[in-house]
Structure 1
Amino acid sequence: MLKSLITAIRTLTLFSVPGRDTESFSNTLFWFPVVGLFLGLLQALFGYGAHLSGWNELAAALVVLGGVVLTRGMHLDGLADLCDGFWGGRTKESILRIMKDPNVGSFGAIALSMHLLLKWIAVLKLVELGAFTFIAAGVLLARLTQVVLASALPYARREGGTAQAFVTGAGWMHISVASLFTLLFLFPLLHQDLHALLALLAASIAAGGMTGLLSYKKIEGVTGDVLGAASELTEVFVWISGALYLLLSGNG
């Protein structure tokens, strides 16, 4: 299992850790919430450090930028590819061909711009409310979304691809264990607030469900780009939901 953790860290972050990769890449999905918690706490720490100076706009920017740097922008690349493919292609084959193209098209560029702006706005409100653990919760839930989609949907490319090794062999056991880890981490992060937990889970399910259904309709499964896009959308959905919850509940 230690090899699976090593592979999960290497896959989801920029950190190069010593050791050998696992032979069963689907088993790394068990560790995705652990890595997500680690990344989320780091991003929250970046924001908190800048918040202490009183410059909240910079704090929010560092949270967003920290996520880009720590993940090598991998999930943002997936979001851009998904938007280019889903809105630029008419058939499954053309969609997959466009998604594989390393160049970013108009749909991808627009999506990235709007997505990063929404992230910054949502995080800025969370920073102003002092809700740094909600920032970490969004990153954590984003990795659970990846596990759910990789385990519940087939791989879309017949010829195979980078993410196929993670999807092959994944199933309900991976979803169950990753969900258990996520809930164990979320409850203390949200200060045992059950209503906040339900609000963030609902946002996560909405983002993951929307991406998964659209992906199945368009390409009959998932790819690495779909998993990355789902992760990005989950983060922004959860952060917006968290900010709204705190404002409407009077906790902000």
Structure 2
Amino acid sequence: MNYLIVDDEPIAHRILEGYCAELPFLKKVGNAYNALEASAIITKHKVDLIFLDLNMPKIMGFELLKTLPSPPKVIVTTAYKEYALEGYELDIIDYLLKPFSLPRFLKAINKITTEKEEKKVEMSTVDTKKNERFFLKGDKMYHQILMKDILFVEAFGNYCKVYLTEKMILTHEKISTLETSLIKEKFLRVHKSFIVAIHRIETIQGNQIYIHDHKIPIGQTYRSKINTLIARKK
């Protein structure tokens, strides 16, 4: 995480640099002693986080923040508590009143890392929901397919047979093309002509996978994937 210190007091820079040195993932990209210096650094470098003082000459801290089209994360470091409400309206991460301790500094940094993890979970959820279903052309119409209903896919020349819990759809799709529409964590290519839904596998015996009344062969070159799957489930 690239950080920039914006403060007109040199001692404030030294204190923040000392605190940041305790966290290896923080990398300083510059020191600015006024808003103009800060703008120049932000223009030239990728800045993920600004430690921003408010009471600076000519242009105040929040005035600088309002001029930035896509501002980085901001942790305010100031001796003036009366600006706190305005800061949160500008979506700052935290508001540190000088002098602040290392534990209080770490608490502010933790808010950033927690927010990032929450966003990762949100994006993962969105991606999963987005891919839970897709449309497949077969019998001159488009069928909406739910991932959870797929048993397995079988290559059939230039076509594919998609076996579902209630029916089978013959589609003019190659198996390699169809494979890209499936969630890779939930499906496994076990043969050049077969993809199976992992959660639908009932038993594995020798070079055969059993799903309901179907027997799916395991290709020699795909055997290692099955072994890895078995080992992971133990």
Taking structure 2 as the reference length, the TM-score comes to 0.25
More strand by share: 2
> Which structure ranks higher in relative contact order (CA pairs < 8 Å, sequence separation ≥ 6)?
1
From the CA coordinates, give the structure whose radius of gyration is larger: 2
More helix by share: 1
Taking structure 1 as the reference length, the TM-score comes to 0.24
